Amino acid sequence: MENSVIAVFIELLMVMHIFTSFPYASSSLSSSCSSTNNNSDLLALLNFKSHIEKELLPNSLVVSSWNTNTSFCNWIGVYCGHRHKRVTALNLSYMELQGTISPHIGNLSFLRVLNLCNNSFYGPIPETVGRLRRLRVINLIFNQLHGTIPSSISHCKRLQRILLGQNHFEGNIPESLGNLTSLEILQLQDINLTGTIPSSIFNLSILRVLALNGNGISGGIPMDICHMLQRLEVVHLSVNPLGGQIPTSLCLCRNLKKLELMQNGLTGSIPRDIGCLSKLEYLNLARNQFTSKIPSSLGNLSKLVELQLSDNNLSGDIPPELGQLSNLRILDSGFNYLSGRLPENIFNLSSAVKISFMNTKNLSGNVPELSGFRLPNLRVINLLGNQFSGRIPASISNASMITFLQLAHNSFNGPVPTSLGSLRYLRTLNLQVNELTNDPSQRELQFLTSLTQCHQLHTLVLGENPLNGSLPKSIGNLSTSLETFSAERSQILGSLPKQIGNLSSLLVLEFVTNDLVGEIPSSVGNLRRLQKLRLLGNRLEGNLPNELCQLTSLGELLLDINKLMGPIPYCIGNLTRMLTISLSSNAFTSIPVSMWSLKNVWSMNFSVNSLSGKLPSDIGNLKLLITLDLSKNQLSGSFPGTISSLKMLKQLNFSENAFQGNIPTVIGELASLESLDLSSNNLSGIIPKSLEKLHYLKHLNLSFNMLSGPVPVNGAFENFTIQAFMGNYDLCGSSKLELPPCPAHSKSRKASFWLKYVVSPIAAVAIVASLLILYIKYWRNSKNLPVSSNLSSIKLGEILGATNNLSEENLMGTGSFGSVYKGTMSDGEIVAVKVFDLQVEGALTSFDGECQVLRNVRHRNLVKIISSCSNLDFRALVLEYMPNGSLEKCLYNLESKSLDILQRMNIMIDVALGLEYLHHGYSEPIVHCDLKPSNVLLDENMVAHVADFGIAKILAIYKSMTQTATLGTMGYIAPEFGSQGRVSPKGDVYSFGIMLMEIFTRKNPRDEMFVEGLNLRQWVLSSYRDRVMDIADSSFWINGIEEAKMTLLIMDSLKGILSSIMELALECSEDLPEERLNMIDVTIRLKKIKNQILQDQVRFNNQPYIVI
């Protein structure tokens, strides 16, 4: 939101500049131009046109209008001066043009305004732009430009506005920008800049707008910034790892209207004298580490419209002076450690649109009951997660425009006021986890009747309150827009009214753990959009109504712990979107065959019922099943062999039934299995040794069966106790299990003899012969080994000294062609030393290939080579050391803090930019061929660098593909490589798509669950869109925050973002190379998704579904 406000603000300034500074500039005023004066302009424009590749806007006339049949002054987007008929402005903004910017742009010597914003121009800004000595405005925001900001731009001494945001630049802010002393607006947001804010910026004494947000700038905010730049009106530095404190010179920026310092890693306290900024309208200090109290001087900022202080470590009371801010529209101090009472005058903020003190931990007392409670503009009140008590004031209804009222997780008590029904625009009402009750004189929950007047109600959450009343029939008159109705653990009595079926927009219906009785009304079948039905923990009875089968959107059905009975309806197989079905602790008698056709189900629990019969082979259809619990029933027969198809199964419980026969050996193929309980059945035979292959098995119970023979001893069986095997027929095994020893067999002794005296000697001879052949092959090849001479070399002795003679303590990891060691050079520099194992086939080629590639490659997101060492029998590269290790280690290390969604997105953008450079950075594309998380290294700022070019192939520009047979890692390689050995940049795009899925699901494509045709892409595709939240790694959005405290709106937004990510990953990993994107387009898409994440942070006022 902030970015768009700044963009619109600057765009308006620019348009005003064009049409006030140059009133004579008009295409309609042009006449036939003199070839003597403007022929260079014509040629420059025609050359510019030749660099435009596509017009993405339907029915665009830009290119067609640019022809020599008319004066170029009449061309679309071209503006000429009245006097000289020379081009003074080129405005092609929002035309959706694609191409590069022609260097001939520098020949438009009279150009004052260059506006190409919101197009798809890519490539660098030509250095020739420095010839435009009359240039006042350059606006290139929202394109795909890359490279560095050209230093030649500093030659344009008259420049007043530079707008280059939302592109793919890199490098530092040029020091030379300090020479542009006429500059008023500098907007460089979201373009991957690094380094520090250069001191030369202080030369720009008339600078009014400084926008550097969304970059990687560090080094703090210069303390004397306001000593030098006293005319600043807008400072936007949000989302940079700046660190440090707010400058003490802030009061000298007397004209400051907008100060945006969100997510800058700032520490210390908010300056006490910040109230000196009398013109300030917007102040955003959210998502930092500020401590101490909220300064009372903020009350002096009489023009303040927005105050964002959330997600800090602020403590103490809320200063009552904030109630003086009569123009304040947004007040958000959530996620701090504030205490005390809420000042009464906060409710005098007549301009307020939003007031949020969400999760400030220790705010207490009553919300004042004020007869003068008048907040005519208020839309949002969010007091979730505090210690407020007392009654909800009835006068809150005076704020008649409220759309979002969240009072959950407090200690409010007394009846829910029926005056809430006066809030006609209310969309979200969340009162869960309080001590609210019903009117004691009423049996029915009358406040629900009052809410029928809220015709826009979208979300109603009442759970964990002692309401103690029944649902009135009037709930059928609640808003037809209602999507969520949740009242778990709320002492709701009586039956579920049939009028519930009128709520046709419901997505979630939840009455968990109440005291509902009677049957489930057949009218529930009218809720055709319903996705989650949770009625567990009640006293519902009777059969399941067949109308339930009409809920074809249903993904979750929880009816556990009721008194339901009879057969499960056959039509249940119609619910093809079902993910979780749990009917445990009822009296159901049979499972229909159609149940086993629900191929998308992840969890199925029918335990503690009266089910009988045998398991059909169709159970093998449930290939996505993770949890299956049929325990405590009357099922019989043997286990079908098709159970081996349940490759994703983690929990399997068939205990306390009457199953017979052997334990199938194929259970050993369920590689993901973590818990297996087959206890209290009639199973016989031996315990299959194949179960030793279940490496993730943590819980095993085979007790009280009729098993015999030896208990396996390897794998997970090393950790199990006698409790897992007790009560069986004739088991034998280890003394640790208190079992009798197993008898020895002559066959075993004979096999041991052959192994020891025949097989072992033969194997030893074979190994020695193989080593001898390899040595001869190496000796022959080494005579003609090329030695890299294009890199600075280093002696072997220096390598050995830096790595402590390649000691184990210095070993960082081992790869396909050798090992990597941490080293400390004689000058103290810490490096990574990659030593190639010359006995591994391909290692020599890898070394020379890596030297060839890396000596000319320089990019922020590619690993930097420092030096090399090349002897007859030793090859090594000295690389830049990355202290945060590989992405693989960071992703799967359970001891480290989980990467949040924004970190993951930034890392994948870094990788995309690195690949984009390799594929499109110069005339001969470089194909990596082995992109995977272990080949992505993270520096101290968590910036990603693509590593390991030893197996890269350089493709001549006229070649579309080459062939190889030695590259890539299974799980990441493209289909055309695996089947035909074909390599192209599109193979890297495929690997990137797989890695994008892995980073956001935290599921390795080589996981043992991916067998028999199932792979990571198919797994993601099966859950794409509808169930994307189920496959995502939840650790990046929930980190110490209960899921229940996250609003459904936030979860919906997160689902949309994850869907966009998975959609992009699937497009990158299409089977056919020609259907995949290129890395330029991939980078654009990732940037847009990142912008959406950042916009949502502002939209939801920094509620932490994105944990930073």
Hey, which residues are catalytic here? 930
List, in sequence order, every residue forming a beta bridge with 137; answer none if it has no partner: 113, 161
Q: What letter would DSSP give residue 939?
A: -
Q: Is 142 left (phi over 0), alpha (psi -120 to 50) or beta?
A: left
Spatial distance between the Cα atoms of 148 and 145, rounded to a whole number of angstroms: 9
210: nearest Cα among 259, 171, 262, 150: 259
**Residues with Cβ within 8 Å of residue 746, at least 6 apart in sequence:** none
Q: H or E stretch including 653?
A: strand 651-653
Helix (H, G, I), strand (E, B) or coil at 1035: helix
Alpha helices in 111-230 (DSSP H): 225-228
Specify burial of residue 291 (Cβ count, 10 A radius: 0-12, 13-18, 19+). middle
Residues 905-908: contacts with CB within 8 Å, 24+ apart? Answer: 905/1061, 905/1086, 905/1089, 905/1090, 905/1093, 906/942, 906/943, 906/944, 906/1090, 907/936, 907/938, 907/942, 907/944, 907/999, 908/944, 908/995, 908/996, 908/999, 908/1086
The span from the CA of 1070 to the CA of 989, in Å, is 9
- Here the tokens at position 702 are 């085979």
Q: Taking a C-beta distance cutoff of 8 angstroms, is the pair 212, 236 a contact?
A: yes
Instruction: Collect all residues with Cβ–Cβ distance below 8 Å to 749 and sequence separation of at least 6.
Output: none
Token representation of residue 221: 């905010």
Between CA 540 and CA 529 the distance in angstroms is: 23
Gyration radius from the chain CA atoms? 35
Q: Which DSSP string corresponds to 491-508? A: -EEEE--GGGGG-TT-SE
Distance CA 217, CA 220 (A): 8
Report which secondary-structure segment, H or E, holds 515: strand 515-518
Query: What are the structure tokens assigned to 465, written together?
Result: 């309150």
d(CA 977, CA 968): 9
Which amino acid, one-letter code, is at 1081? D
Q: Give the position of tokens 């992703």.
A: 891
Helix ranges restricted to H, 384-488 = 446-450
Dist CA 820 CA 843 (whole Å):
14
Question: β-strands 926-927, 699-701: how paired?
Answer: unpaired
Q: How far is it, in rounded angstroms, from Cα 50 to Cα 38? A: 19
**What is the amino acid identity at position 542?**
G
d(CA 980, CA 469) in angstroms, rounded, equals 69
* Three-state SS at 635: strand
Q: Where are the beta strands (DSSP E) in 848-925?
A: 865-871, 874-880
Output b/e per residue, 986-998; b: 16+ Cβ within 10 A.
bbbbbbbbbbbbb
With beta carbons less than 8 A apart as the criterion, state whether 389 and 413 touch: yes
How far is residue 294's CA from residue 302's CA, in Å, rounded to a whole number? 16
Strand partners, 618: none
